[in-house]
Amino acid sequence: MMQNESLVGFTEAQASPLPAGEQNQVRQQLDAILSAARRRWPDYLNVSSEVMLPWVDAFDRYWDRKRIQGMLRNSDPKDFSNDYVVTVCEFGSVLGHVMRGLQPRLVWYLERPSCRDF
């Protein structure tokens, strides 16, 4: 999460450094990841209905050290579709969705990571 006073009052589109077409691609990716969490999480977490704060709580209770270590052991770091990356992305999308529900003034800062970020 980032707070930037110079962006207060900006819309998601105005805050993003990306051109409109790329913003749409990132937004679609975020929406697809959230949809995946909506489908997958009820299979292993005690969650239902709309994505809300209890989803974050259920995720936090489920993913203890032992489960996280197992997931890391079974996730190939060269495969960006491994369970670890997928789960982290789903959690980020759920957390962002919940935070925006609690604080409607929050907006996604639509950006793509660059290779220098890794």
In DSSP notation, 52-64 reads -HHHHHHHHHH--
Q: Which residues contact 44 (CB under 8 A, 6 or more apart)?
A: 62
Domains of the chain, by residue range, sit at 18-111
113: number of Cβ within 10 Å = 7
Query: Which H helix or E strand runs over 73?
Result: helix 65-73
**0.85 exceeded by the pTM?**
yes
Over its length of 118 residues, how does the chain's per-residue pLDDT go in tens digits? 667 788 888 889 999 999 999 999 999 999 999 999 999 999 999 999 899 999 999 999 999 999 999 999 999 999 989 999 999 999 999 999 999 999 988 888 898 875 444 4
Pair of tokens at residue 76 = 């190939």
